Each structure stands twice: as structure tokens, then as C-alpha cells.
Amino acid sequence: MGSIDAYESAKGRRYRVRWRDPEHQQREKRGFRTKREAELYNATVEVAMMKGTYFEASQSKITVGELAAEWLANKEQALKPSSFSPIRIAWRVYVEPRWAATPIGAIRPSAVEKWIR
């Protein structure tokens, strides 16, 4: 559960929302003009954490290629070479050319559906 604090800025009274993310790191967003705006933002953060869809905005800039390197390394450790080979080939031939440079925050379900077709 987050907290909402008022503070004074050059433009007048503003509100700040503070919360703890799923990794227990304190986060905050400031600059809300009304307490109602801050409460609504706090509610969306809480719902996202309960649903498991919460992610930090800075993480949305990580590219698929950066995530894939770690993911592939984990898969390689967990699978036999004969099972891992098709995954590595599918990544290199199909996924990497289209998605490697794409930030995960820019991926939309409609783009993935179009690519699959």
C-alpha cells in the first residue's frame, strides 16, 4: 500500500506517491496537481502489483535482445544440447531479426499477432 504526501513547489502545492515494488525497493512519482490524481495513480500501481503486471518504467527500455541473452543462457543450462538447438535456431532465424532491437515497453499484442501471421 502506497502513501501520498503533499509538498510545496514553485508552481504551488503538489502531491507525491510512494510505494514499495515487488522487490521491496521504495519508488515514488511526484508532481500530481490534485490529491485525487495521486490517489488514482496509487490505486493503479496497487492493482498492477496484485495482478502481477507491475513493472518499473525504466525496465520498459530494455530491449528484447538484452533479455534474450540471459534467457538463452538459462535455457542452455537447463536443457540437453539436442533440445536447446531448435530454440537457439528459432531465436537467431525468426525472432532476433525482428525483435532484438525493440524495447519491451514498445511491444504491443497487435504487433506480435501481425508478426506471427
> pLDDT tens digit string along 20-52?
988 888 999 999 999 999 999 999 999 988 888
Which residues have CB under 8 Å from 107's CB, separation 6+? 64, 99
Q: What is the pLDDT of residues 49-107, one digit of tens each?
A: 888 888 776 777 889 999 999 999 999 999 999 999 999 999 999 999 999 999 988 88
Q: What is the residue extent of each domain of the chain?
A: 3-54, 61-116
Using CA atoms, how far apart are residues 67 and 58, in angstroms rounded to an integer? 14
**Contact assessment for residue 32 and residue 16, using Cβ atoms and an 8 Å cutoff:** yes
Tell whether pTM > 0.85.
no
| Ramachandran category for residue 17: left, alpha or beta (phi over 0 → left; psi -120 to 50 → alpha) | beta
Using CA atoms, how far apart are residues 114 and 110, in angstroms rounded to an integer? 6
**Contact assessment for residue 68 and residue 37, using Cβ atoms and an 8 Å cutoff:** no
